[in-house]
C-alpha cells in the first residue's frame, strides 16, 4: 500500500519513532486537513478508545502520539522555521542525535499561513469524550520564538496527524 510505504520511522532518540510525514501526506508538507471524525468517514468515532486512525491506515505498530509523547518531543528537540526558500515547514531537530522531521507550517485549510501547525494527540480530555488534546505550534514572524502548547478542542476541529511507530 502506497500510504504505508511513504511513512518511514525517524529515530529522534525518544521513546517512540516519529513518522517522516503526516497521515495522508504525499510529502512532508502535505496532509489530510479534516477533523478526526471526518478524516475517516466516522469509522474511528468520537470516542478516544475506538479505532486509532494511524493504526487503521498503517498497521499495528503505528498510532497517534499521546500528549506525553508530544511533550517529550518538545522537550528534546529544537523547533525552527526552514531556511529553504521554497519550503513551508517547521524543522524539528533532535537534541539527542540531530535527526530531523518536518512539520507543515500552516493552519489547517491554509498551508501557506506562516509558521503555525496543529496536531492531534490520542489523549482524551477527561471532561468530554468528544474533545481531545492537540499540540499547537507557531513561530514568531522573524522565526526567533516558538510558541508551543497542548490544548483541547472538539474532535471535529481540523488538525493534522503525525503518526508514531512503536518498536
Q: CA dist 23 to 48, 86, 126, Å?
A: 17, 22, 25
Q: Residue 163: its pLDDT value, please?
A: 92
The residues with which 156 forms a beta bridge, in sequence order, are none
* Beta strands across the sheet bearing 17-19: 9-10, 17-19, 164-165, 62-63
Indicate if the pLDDT at residue 110 is higher than 70: no
What's the mean pLDDT in 54-79? 91
pTM score, whole prediction: 0.80
Q: Can you read off the three cell numbers belonging to residue 28?
A: 512532508
Q: Residue 106: its pLDDT value, please?
A: 55
**Chain segment 27-61, per-residue pLDDT in tens:** 444 444 444 545 555 555 555 556 788 888 889 99
Amino acid at each position: 500500500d502506497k500510504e504505508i510505504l511513504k511513512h518511514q520511522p525517524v529515530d529522534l532518540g525518544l521513546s517512540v519513532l516519529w513518522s517522516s510525514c503526516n497521515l495522508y501526506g504525499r510529502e512532508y508538507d502535505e496532509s489530510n486537513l479534516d477533523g478526526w471524525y471526518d478524516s475517516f468517514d466516522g469509522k474511528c468515532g468520537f470516542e478516544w478508545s475506538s479505532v486509532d486512525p494511524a493504526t487503521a491506515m498503517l498497521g499495528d505498530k503505528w498510532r497517534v502520539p499521546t500528549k506525553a509523547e508530544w511533550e517529550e518531543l518538545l522537550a528534546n528537540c529544537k523547533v525552527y522555521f526552514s531556511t529553504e526558500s521554497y519550503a513551508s515547514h517547521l524543522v524539528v531537530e533532535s537534541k539527542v542525535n540531530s535527526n530531523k522531521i518536518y512539520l507543515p507550517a500552516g493552519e489547517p485549510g491554509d498551508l501557506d499561513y506562516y509558521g503555525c501547525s496543529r496536531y492531534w494527540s490520542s489523549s482524551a480530555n477527561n471532561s468530554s469524550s468528544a474533545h481531545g488534546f492537540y499540540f499547537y505550534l507557531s513561530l514568531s514572524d522573524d522565526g526567533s520564538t516558538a510558541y508551543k502548547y497542548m490544548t483541547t478542542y472538539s474532535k471535529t476541529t481540523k488538525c493534522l496527524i503525525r503518526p508514531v511507530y512503536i518498536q
